[in-house]
């Protein structure tokens, strides 16, 4: 199978971009102050015939319910609903009427701003097919299914609204936050969601040292390790306060999207989990379950953690039977297929009173590797693919659109392949070299960003703006010479121990561009006389080695385009320093003064109100530029989004591609 010539690739993708421009595409809107709303590609081969997606089902007649009002940002204006409809999929399952399953304070969906998607009232039915190469994980399903406590339509952070929590109020000193819950909200098993679930999560999980040895830093005052943990004040069954000892204006964006957090941070199903907690169930009654789960006698806390499913585990086979608030519930998991079905108690509706989601089932197929993901995509066997879609394959996607899907180019919400040298890897010679800013500046000067953009991204990216994009091998070599990294007889530079200094990259295949970019960077840095190697490893092993401070050099993305994420890669370029920061100095290694100063700036930006946070982020970027803690070679990359041609309520090409996932419950199959 011969390689498609680069010139043809550029022409094809350019033609596509031109067509998108003619259809009215605009660049992603600039971020504004948030409003706090309190209420090298293979030549194409012919793919097999597409598997037809199930047709949508007409909604049944509406049942009447008490009047309720909520602003419908995604469906248009103020709406008063007096009747509701649900999917025929739920008929004959012995469920209460839809109006008895919905909360009185239901949410009319507003996941996507009207400027990014023209919302259509949909119809029920169908199976949405996704594909993944990672066991117990599907990034597209995760983002589509996850429900945060609050919401920021379009993920830009411009507006914060209610989501699982109905509304909020903030004290003038930004220390006290009052939240209202949705009256009548129910878990997927029909049990009520109340402040008892919040109290159980905070008092019996977060404040139990057996279950949470270190209280989360981000839930302390101002998000700082030396501040006091937040305090809970329960007002009644539906209202509660979180009280911090320091101003924490940034907590709302953390509840809405930062870190892709979900409602499980504050709300767990107490009625289900109390049976595994010794405060509510005697240890002798738990011992048979502890033994069956393979834990040692008395290890009830390990049993509890095994039974407790956080939002990050929603795609794990253990999630079957666990009460959730997501649009779809996992019902079956085999070696090759995970099936989710609609949650009959889901709390969102459209402006016509149709209980969401529109689509009845989601099926995630597990394949061997990322190449198989691509093959299933172009054969029309996938209805939605974003995480694994590759820009380099865009001509192949376009050529096979006849198989029933459409290939779009949207904006990427990350800098896709940032380069990390772990400055705290446990080797004195390594630390002495990589902690010297001259070394990091030399490596930055040796990155030919234009070549990276041209070779890997076919000119659909820009040099990263946080660091100096200058390419200067002479200056880079001078910096290394000034450090005393002399070259041996073989031309390779020697470290402080007078042995060849090696940068050993270990990378996974979390994204299609990681391996080819690593290969290119390896060759660029070899030009400096450095011994640079690369090894690809399994993603599970990569995660383990990263957690255990065993990676020296790697590549992965950060959320640089999303200012509020506060994602500065600190765990990757200073593993043990970051552990010291997040543990309040109890674990890891104490960092040097410059890194401590950076941590303080990051903490300050997280605690500040949005206006102040943006200014502090500008200052952080300058610190990053001066110190080159890690490398951000490119920015403004386009990302393919592959969707079934009959799938409706897909955001337009001007939005972030990942934003489409957030409208998953609004997807429906039509003409």
Q: Structure tokens of 94? A: 């012995």
> Mean pLDDT, the chain, as a whole number?
87
What is the pLDDT, as a whole number, of residue 561? 67
What is the pLDDT, as a whole number, of residue 33? 36
Q: Structure tokens of 8? A: 């043809």
What is the pLDDT, as a whole number, of residue 43? 34
Measure the CA–CA gap between 297 and 302, rounded to whole angstroms.
10
What is the pLDDT, as a whole number, of residue 388? 84
DSSP-derived pairing of the beta strands 502-507 and 531-536: parallel
User: What domains does the chain contain, in order, with CATH numbers?
Assistant: 415-635 (3.10.105.10)
Q: What residue spans of 457-564 are helical by DSSP H?
A: 473-483, 514-526, 539-547
Which residues are 57's β-sheet partners? 124
Measure the CA–CA gap between 162 and 142, rounded to whole angstroms.
20
DSSP string, 162-184: ESSEEEEEE-TTS-EEEEEEPTT
This prediction's pTM: 0.79
What is the pLDDT, as a whole number, of residue 563? 64
What is the pLDDT, as a whole number, of residue 422? 99
The single residue listed with the structure tokens 């070259």 is 487
What is the pLDDT, as a whole number, of residue 307? 98
Q: How far apart are the first and last CA of the chain?
A: 36
Residue (of 627, 636, 637, 638) closest to 468 by Cα position: 627
Note the pLDDT tens digit of each residue in 630-640.
Answer: 999 988 888 88
The single residue listed with the structure tokens 């997040």 is 582
What is the pLDDT, as a whole number, of residue 64? 39
Which residues are 42's β-sheet partners? 3
Beta carbons of 610 and 157 less than 8 angstroms apart: yes
Beta carbons of 618 and 644 less than 8 angstroms apart: no
Q: Structure tokens of 171? A: 């004290």
Residue (of 392, 369, 520) closest to 43 by Cα position: 392
- Please enumerate in sequence order all residues whose Cβ is within 8 A of that of 644, keeping only pairs 6 or more positions apart, or say none: 53, 383, 384, 404, 405, 406, 669
Question: Which parts of the chain sit beneath pLDDT 50?
Answer: 1-78
């Amino acid at each position: 199978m011969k390689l498609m010539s680069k010139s043809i690739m550029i022409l094809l993708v350019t033609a596509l971009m031109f067509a998108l421009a003619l259809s009215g595409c605009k660049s992603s809107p600039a971020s504004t102050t948030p409003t706090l709303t309190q209420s090298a590609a293979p030549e194409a081969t012919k793919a097999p015939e597409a598997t037809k997606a199930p047709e949508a089902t007409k909604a049944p007649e509406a049942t009447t319910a008490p009047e309720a009002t909520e602003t419908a940002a995604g469906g248009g204006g103020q709406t008063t609903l007096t009747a509701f409809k649900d999917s025929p999929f739920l008929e004959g399952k012995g469920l209460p009427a839809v109006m008895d399953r919905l909360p009185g304070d239901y949410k009319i969906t507003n996941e996507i701003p009207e400027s990014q998607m023209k919302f259509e009232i949909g119809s029920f039915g169908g199976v949405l097919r996704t594909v993944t190469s990672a066991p117990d994980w599907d990034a597209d399903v995760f983002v589509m299914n996850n429900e945060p406590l609050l919401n920021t339509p379009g993920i830009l952070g411009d507006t914060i609204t209610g989501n699982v929590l109905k509304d909020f109020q903030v004290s003038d000193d930004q220390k006290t936050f009052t939240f209202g819950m949705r009256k009548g909200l129910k878990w997927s098993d029909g049990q009520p969601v109340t402040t008892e679930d919040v109290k159980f999560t905070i008092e019996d999980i977060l404040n139990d040292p057996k279950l949470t040895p270190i209280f989360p830093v981000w839930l302390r005052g101002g998000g700082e390790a030396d501040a006091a943990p937040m305090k809970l004040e329960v007002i009644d069954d539906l209202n509660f306060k979180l009280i911090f000892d320091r101003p924490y204006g940034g907590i709302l964006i953390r509840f809405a999207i930062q870190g892709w957090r979900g409602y499980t941070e504050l709300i767990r199903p107490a009625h289900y989990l109390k049976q595994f907690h010794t405060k509510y169930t005697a240890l002798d009654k738990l011992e048979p379950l502890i033994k069956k789960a393979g834990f040692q006698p008395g290890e009830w806390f390990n049993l509890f953690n095994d039974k407790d499913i956080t939002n990050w585990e929603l795609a794990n086979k253990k999630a079957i039977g666990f009460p959730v608030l997501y649009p779809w519930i996992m019902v079956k998991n085999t070696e090759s297929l995970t099936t989710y079905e609609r949650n009959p108690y889901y709390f969102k509706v459209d402006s016509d009173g149709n209980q969401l989601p529109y689509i009845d089932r989601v099926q995630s197929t597990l394949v061997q590797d990322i190449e198989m993901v691509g093959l299933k995509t172009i054969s029309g066997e996938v209805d939605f693919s974003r995480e694994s879609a590759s820009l380099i394959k865009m001509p192949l996607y376009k050529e096979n659109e006849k198989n029933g899907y459409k290939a779009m180019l949207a904006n990427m919400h990350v800098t896709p392949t940032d380069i990390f040298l772990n400055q705290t890897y446990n080797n004195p010679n390594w630390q002495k070299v990589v902690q010297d800013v001259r070394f990091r500046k030399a490596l930055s000067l040796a990155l030919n960003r234009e070549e990276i953009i041209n070779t890997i991204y076919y000119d659909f990216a820009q040099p990263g703006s946080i660091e100096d994009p200058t390419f200067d091998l002479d200056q880079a070599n001078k910096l290394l010479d000034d450090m005393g990294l002399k070259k041996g007889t073989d031309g390779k530079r020697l470290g402080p121990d007078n042995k060849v200094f090696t940068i050993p990259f270990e990378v996974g295949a979390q994204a299609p561009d990681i391996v080819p970019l690593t290969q290119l960077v390896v060759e660029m840095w070899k030009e400096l006389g450095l011994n640079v190697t690369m090894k690809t490893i399994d993603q599970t092993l990569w995660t383990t080695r990263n957690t255990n401070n065993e990676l020296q050099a790697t590549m992965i993305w950060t959320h640089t385009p999303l200012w509020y994420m506060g994602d500065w890669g600190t765990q990757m370029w200073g593993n043990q320093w970051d552990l010291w920061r997040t543990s309040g100095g109890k674990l890891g290694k104490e960092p040097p003064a410059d890194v401590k100063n950076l941590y303080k700036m990051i903490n300050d930006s997280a605690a500040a109100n949005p206006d102040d946070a943006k200014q502090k982020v500008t200052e952080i970027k300058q610190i990053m530029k001066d110190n080159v803690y890690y490398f951000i070679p490119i920015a403004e990359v386009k990302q393919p989004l592959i969707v079934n041609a009959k799938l409706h309520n897909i955001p337009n090409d001007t939005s972030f591609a990942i934003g489409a996932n957030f409208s998953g419950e609004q997807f429906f199959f039509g003409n």
